[in-house]
Amino acid sequence: MSQFVSHNIPAGGSLSNGRGSVTSAGGSLPNGRGSVTSAGGSLSNGRGSVASACTFRAARKRARKFLPCAVVGLALIGFGCMKGPNYQRPTAAVPQAYKEAPPEGWKEAQPNDGVLKGKWWEIFGDPALNALEEQVNISNQNVLQVEAQFRQAVAAVRVARTALFPTVTTSPSATGQGTSSRVSTGGISRGNTVAGLYEIPVSASYTADVWGAIHRSVTASANTAQSLAAAIENARLLYQSELATDYFQLHGLDGDHDLLLQTVNSYQDYLKLTKVRFAGGVASDSDVSEAETQLYTTQAQLVDVDVERNQMEHAIAILIGKPPTELTIPRQVIQSDPPKAPIGLPSQLLERRPDIADAERQAAAANQQIGIAQAAFFPTLTMAATAGVESGNVLNLISWPARFWTIGPQLAQILFDAGKRKAQVAEAQASYDATAAAYRQSVLTAFQQVEDNLSTLRVLEQESAVTDQAVKSATRSVDVTTAQYKGGTVNYLSVIQVQTIALADQKSAVDLRTRRMAASVALIQALGGGWDSTKLPGVQDVGDTPVHILPFLKH
């Protein structure tokens, strides 16, 4: 035992690879793992021997002191050498105020104006519409498709984040080997021999994020997930708006149906009148035929209304994720005017539109790709370590002398790639420029849509007021002409002419009310509905918070 703790190797000994064993004069050790051999001996494979136990302990202490310093140093380097440009939101032209004034009675834009929040459709005060809109969130397959894409992006963030941590693997093995007795060494035959080797190694590798490429990759994945979160909200807004528009158009057709039904009943009375006058010899048969033609034409229009109404009803069923057979919407005539929604300021629009948030987050992700491409110009530092136990006897695996370990860094650098990395940086920069341009275009399109619908609502309101006057005048003209016809001063053709004008004006009034409701929905959609960018999950939330409990997914 005194030989084991000595600091020198006695004469005649050998050390094959220096893993924890000492040899001394006069002995041999067939596998040489952590045992003492006598003078004149040799160590056949000698894994991990050192000159002495004291030397081993000193080396182990130095390694323990060095490793924490190395890890801290690498971390400091990683945070201090981030390559690539820092992200700044692309600039976009934002007007101080909208060009088009809102319709009379609508709320003017003021700095502290309130905006729609949450369930914007409730501003219309229609319980049936509210019930249908709620089903878009949970049953519309297009919305569910985008939600699945978001969950996929969240998983990609977690995948990217794993590169920030070491990878630990193990590969236990058991190997047997037998030698032939027909093989001799130096003329001496050793006979048949059988040997076994059992290993339980554990390996760890870590790529230091010296230049920030891994952090940028994680951030880029998180930005992409954020853009898809905004895309979910944009899809919801799109299909909710489409449902509301179809809903009001359907009830607009109900208004047409009600008007045509009243007109058919009126024309039936006029047909009876012409037949009575014809029977009395006061009117000609042409009056009867003209009244019949007018009646049958209007009846055909009445039947035709149901074609479009049925299509609208089927479209609404699909929007809520149901087959058309499961949805029947009762007839209802639109009686109310569009609600007065707060418009807000143009500067607020950038925070209220989910499609703008989607485009902006895509630009942020593209910016991270530039840094990733630039980091490829610098070397990659990898730390690798392996430790474990091995023995020729399975019973000795749990003994201290059976241990072994290795540790060391590796630095890799591309010396020549024919300009590949420069091209990748140029590609990433061009991709960012494209996403920045798309962001600016989405901002311009948003302002256009708001201006268009503000103008539409204002003009339609004015047109509706004039049309109401036309309806009153046409109704009075029908009454006067009918009285003249009964008095025999005009023929029935005059009655038909004023009736045709009256029906056209009345239908215009009904259609204008429908168009105003649809324009109101379009304006609310252009303003972003009840959404704002504060509802987007943060970069950390995307990877750390379980998807099913993210607040923006709860509707």
In 3-state terms, what secondary structure has residue 409? strand
C-alpha distances out from residue 300 to 121, 177, 195, 257, 500, Å: 35, 96, 99, 11, 15
Instruction: For residue 434, give the H/E element and its range.
Output: helix 420-487
Is 294 domain-assigned? Answer: yes
Is residue 70 located within the same domain as residue 126? no
**What one-letter code names the amino acid at 1?**
M
CATH number of the structural domain spanning residue 545? 1.20.1600.10
- Rounded to a whole number of angstroms, the CA Rg of the chain reads 42
255 and 391 belong to one structural domain: yes
DSSP E strand boundaries for 99-246: 167-170, 173-179, 184-185, 188-189, 193-208
**Is the pLDDT at 34 greater than 60, yes or no?**
no
Q: What is the pLDDT of residues 396-434, one digit of tens each?
A: 778 888 888 999 999 999 999 999 999 999 999 999 999
pLDDT digits (tens, 9 = 90+) for 347-378: 889 999 999 999 999 999 999 999 999 999 99
Give pLDDT tens digits for 238-290: 999 999 999 999 999 999 999 999 999 999 999 999 999 999 888 889 999 99
Whether 524 and 399 map to the same domain: the answer is: yes
Range of the domain at 476: 120-183+190-328+339-553
Average pLDDT over the chain, rounded to an integer: 82
Does pLDDT of 111 surpass 70?
no
Query: How many other C-beta atoms are found inside a 10 Å radius of the C-beta of residue 71?
Result: 13
Same domain, 138 and 41: no
211 has a pLDDT exceeding 50: yes
Q: What is the pLDDT of residues 523-543, one digit of tens each?
A: 999 999 988 888 888 888 886
Same domain? For 165 and 270 the reply is yes
On whether both 73 and 129 belong to a single domain, the answer is: no
> For the whole prediction, is pTM greater than 0.85?
no
Q: Tell how far CA 477 is from the center of its chain.
A: 59
94 is a domain residue: no
Share of the chain above pLDDT 90, in %: 59
What pLDDT, in 10s, does the model give residues 503-528? 999 999 999 999 999 999 999 999 99
Q: What is the pLDDT of residue 110?
A: 53
Phi and psi at residue 293, in whole multiples of 5°? -60, -45
Same domain (yes/no): 216, 273: yes
Asked whether residue 132 is assigned to any structural domain, the reply reads yes
* CA–CA distance, 140 with 292 (Å, rounded to integer): 47
pLDDT of residue 463: 95
Considering the domain boundaries, does residue 175 fall inside one? yes
Confidence of residue 84 (pLDDT cuts 50, 70, 90): confident
Query: Is the confidence at residue 72, as pLDDT, over 70?
Result: no
Q: pLDDT per residue over 118-174, tens digit each? A: 789 999 999 999 999 999 888 888 888 999 999 999 999 999 999 999 999 999 988
Q: Which is more confident, 307 or 7?
A: 307
